[in-house]
Amino acid sequence: MTLDLIDVRDLVGHPGASKTESLRGTVEALGTELARVPEDLPIGGLLLLESVVEGILVSGAVEGVLQLHCARCLKEFEQVFSVPIYELFVSEPDPDADDYPLDPDGELDPEQMVRDVVGVELPFSPLCEPDCLGLCATCGGDKNLGACPGHQQIDPRWDGLEQLFKQTEH
Ligand SMILES: [Zn+2]
Ligand SMILES: [Zn+2]
């Protein structure tokens, strides 16, 4: 399943006409290792579609849920997003412009637009909390859960070895 096409036959060629439509559907394979849009959760948002001389002007917002992994502690968490949209769909897009193509049959495919606007909003380094402490370099434990019990005391069996290291350092 992907995003539903939006029928704009009633708008094409009628500058000044407008209507609102909801985004419906899902997107596949949108995201990075640490931040992605789940393929089984719907994308939403309300769009205002306005017929202009050049084509169809789309404004509004894309909304959904991001599945994130904390860049420090790797914990998985979710975050809702709402990204503003202001894009133009034209029947013959100029390759040098950022416009999107409008299907000659009068259907507007919002998928590429959604991929682009959500793609640039994906956090490069998501954090579960702004002050996440991350993982312990010694034991790999989550430092947000408190002190690591595992290596608070050094295993007595290593005491002798440690003394040896200290001596050889000097
Ligand atoms: Zn974290
Ligand atoms: Zn530790």
pLDDT, tens digit (0-9, with 9 covering 90-100), for 43-101? 999 999 999 999 999 999 999 999 999 999 999 999 999 999 999 999 888 888 889 99
CA of 75 to the centre of ligand 1 (A): 6
Is residue 27 a contact partner of residue 39, using CB atoms and an 8 Å limit?
Answer: yes
CA of 144 to the centre of ligand 1 (A): 8
To the question of pTM greater than 0.75 for the whole model, the response is yes
**Structure token digits, residue 68:** 């994130």
CA of 98 to the centre of ligand 2 (A): 49
Q: Please determine, for residue 170, whether its predicted confidence score (pLDDT) is greater than 60.
A: no
Which numbered ligand comes closest to the C-alpha of 150?
2
Q: Which residues pair with 21 in a beta bridge?
A: 47
CA of 115 to the centre of ligand 1 (A): 26
Which numbered ligand comes closest to the C-alpha of 143?
2
**Structure token digits, residue 111:** 């998928």
